[in-house]
Amino acid sequence: MKNSKIILPVVLSTVLVACNDESKPVAVTKPIPTPTPVPTQPTKPNPPTPLPTDNGELLDPSSRGDISVNGGATRLKKERSEALKASISNRNVKHVILFIGDGTSESEITAARNYAEGAAGYFKGLDVFPFTGAYSTYSLIKGTKSIDYVTDSAASATAWATGTKSYNGAISVDRDAKPQQTILELAKSAGFATGNVTTTELQDATPAALAAHVTSRKCYAPTQTSKSCPKNALEKGGAGSITEQLLQTKADVTFGGGGASFKDVAKAGTYSGKTLFDQAIAMNYQVVTDVKSMNTLTEANQNKPVLGLFADGNLPVMWSGPKAQVDGNKGAASLCTANPSRSSNTPTLKEMTAKAIDLLKTHQKGFFLQVESGSIDKRNHAADACGQIGETVALDEAIQEALAFAKQNPDTLIIVTGDHAHTSQIIPNDADSPGKTVKLLTKDQVEMTINYATSKDGSQEHTGAQVRTAAYGPHAANISGLLDQTDLFFIIKKAFGL
């Protein structure tokens, strides 16, 4: 049904903040100022993406035109066999840029596309990859070979970062708690520059799993590590908390949140008695805390590594909107608004990605860079459709930044994927769902209902479906068909010639 009337959201809305996987969301009632709708333009065709000639062919998957006539909704512009054949290469790459959408599967991408680009539109980053496939994400039960069909981000990150399946909560250790070498550590030891970027806390599963090895994802800082990961604690002869290991692994560029953990104090070792922040300074890290200071950076290397701490916890999300509730789809449709509690001093994922590439590209040997949009997952847990969609759009914009680099630097492999599926589903607008629902007005000027039905009252749960994979550049053809997420480690390793 065509709906030409834009219905604005209610004036007061509940904004959810800071949802960790293990904790319930904290509800804070905040007034939302005069709504500033994000997508208000009627649907129009996206301009075609310019096609590169030297690094495979990017897609222009816009629909052809009138979606109501025969062939009008098709996205394929021409027969692609020859173009794909010509783009396939297994030559070694200099650069790998890996994008992870936390809790981002087909459902999250489709909902975001419908809202921001229209059902027949496409994302100029997320949707243009010539090779796509899917990977399985199951994890293991700790200490066993038994399968857990629903992974968390820690077991998932351990799998794609190290090639080893492990248990939920594991940070780059195997099912028996034995440390596994990560792709970032491997690339670094082979002389590549490295970068680790996220919109969440730096100690959260994805960034942590690239640079630390602990038995529980909770072990952010020394105090918690003594309790939850005693074998990893420095005072017990371990490698220390996630934050301490992040500092020691020393990627050339590390951007994200999680500043709070740096206030904790080391219990043993060279920096015993000092805060982890003081340790970073003593280790010659260039610490930046906002866009302005980030943009003053001119170099990032092992003598002068870069540490961006842009929030105490997770970075504030881009968009906000009404919270899903039981029978939420029976009310009026809403538009998403810019998050009023987000300041332009906080860098966007696109800005962090651009700066990280800028700093890493000067390294002769090349680089490995991981970029995570982490709060797609957090907002999914909180049944916050607008928060989730805004972070998916942010991921798309960051990918566009990387694609622009790859077009100029043909020896670049870009991989885009998620780490596990999640709860949100697009359901009929008149559905009588037992779950929590919210109805949004999309760019098509059509109502879309998003359903969250994996928890009655607590945090919404991950789900166990396979997750989309996509790639561009040499070795991209390997990201086709059905893979397991452990394949990612080996595909990247091979692409680097390691």
Under the binding rule (CB under 5 A), the answer on residue 384 touching Zn ion is no
**CB closer to Zn ion out of 21 and 185:** 21
**CB closer to Zn ion out of 153 and 279:** 153
Residues that constitute the known binding site for Mg(2+): 102, 204, 206, 372
Write the DSSP string, 84-105.
HHHH------SEEEEEEETT--
Task: Choose one: 15-23, 88-96, 221-229, 300-308; the region binding Zn ion (CB under 5 A).
Answer: 15-23
CB of 381 to Zn ion, least distance (A): 6
Instruction: Using DSSP, state whether 370 is helix, strand or coil.
Output: strand
E-strand ranges in 202-258 read: 253-257
Task: Choose one: 64-72, 234-242, 376-384, 406-414; the region binding Zn ion (CB under 5 A).
Answer: 376-384
What is the gyration radius of the CA atoms in the chain, in angstroms? 22
CB of 293 to Zn ion, least distance (A): 30
Under the binding rule (CB under 5 A), the answer on residue 377 touching Zn ion is yes
**CB closer to Zn ion out of 22 and 327:** 22
Find out whether 175 and 143 touch, Cβ atoms under 8 Å: yes
Question: What is the phi/psi pair of residue 95, to 5°?
Answer: -130, 135
Count Cβ neighbours within 10 Å for each residue of 212-238 and write b for 16 or more, e otherwise.
Answer: bbbbbbbbbbbebbbebbeebbbeeeb
Number of residues that bind Zn ion (CB under 5 A): 2
CB of 103 to Zn ion, least distance (A): 5
**CB closer to Zn ion out of 21 and 252:** 21
- Of 112, 127, 23, the residue nearest 319 (C-alpha): 112
Under the binding rule (CB under 5 A), the answer on residue 21 touching Zn ion is yes
Residues that constitute the known binding site: 102, 204, 206, 372, 377, 381, 419-420, 462
- Of 459, 433, 428, the residue nearest 327 (C-alpha): 433
Q: Which residue has the tokens 């590209």?
A: 361
Distance CA 137, CA 100 (A): 13
Find out whether 356 and 294 touch, Cβ atoms under 8 Å: no
Task: Choose one: 114-122, 162-170, 356-364, 373-381; the region binding Zn ion (CB under 5 A).
Answer: 373-381
Distance CA 89, CA 74 (A): 28
Under the binding rule (CB under 5 A), the answer on residue 201 touching Zn ion is no
Task: Choose one: 156-164, 216-224, 276-284, 374-382; the region binding Zn ion (CB under 5 A).
Answer: 374-382
Distance CA 460, CA 60 (A): 35
CB of 201 to Zn ion, least distance (A): 13
For residues 297, 298, 304 and 306, what is the CA-based torsion angle, rounded to 10 degrees? 40
Per CB under 5 A, contacts with Zn ion among 474-493 are: none
Q: By Cβ distance, which residue is nearest to Zn ion? A: 377
Helix (H) or strand (E) holding 221: none
Angle at 475 between CA 472 and CA 479, to 5 degrees: 70
Instruction: Using DSSP, state whether 356 is helix, strand or coil.
Output: helix
Which residue(s) pair with 308 in the sheet?
255, 288
CB of 275 to Zn ion, least distance (A): 29
Site map for Zn ion, 30-69, x if CB under 5 A?
----------------------------------------
Q: Which residue has the tokens 């890996």?
A: 98
Task: Choose one: 21-29, 36-44, 138-146, 336-344; the region binding Zn ion (CB under 5 A).
Answer: 21-29
**CB closer to Zn ion out of 21 and 384:** 21
**CB closer to Zn ion out of 323 and 355:** 323
CB of 312 to Zn ion, least distance (A): 20
CB of 376 to Zn ion, least distance (A): 9
Options 62, 63, 139, 153, the catalytic residue: 153
The yes-or-no answer on residue 153 being catalytic is yes
CB of 429 to Zn ion, least distance (A): 27
Distance CA 429, CA 424 (A): 14
Residues that constitute the known binding site for Zn(2+): 102, 377, 381, 419-420, 462
Which residue(s) pair with 414 in the sheet?
97, 472
Site map for Zn ion, 230-249, x if CB under 5 A?
--------------------
Distance CA 209, CA 184 (A): 9
Helix (H) or strand (E) holding 416: strand 412-418
Q: Maximum Cα–Cα distance for the chain, whole Å?
A: 71
Name the token pair of 121.
Answer: 């539109």
**CB closer to Zn ion out of 46 and 216:** 216
**CB closer to Zn ion out of 407 and 420:** 420
Distance CA 314, CA 138 (A): 26
Under the binding rule (CB under 5 A), the answer on residue 372 touching Zn ion is no
Question: Which residues form the catalytic set?
Answer: 153
Which parts of this chain interact with Zn ion (CB under 5 A)? Answer: 21, 377
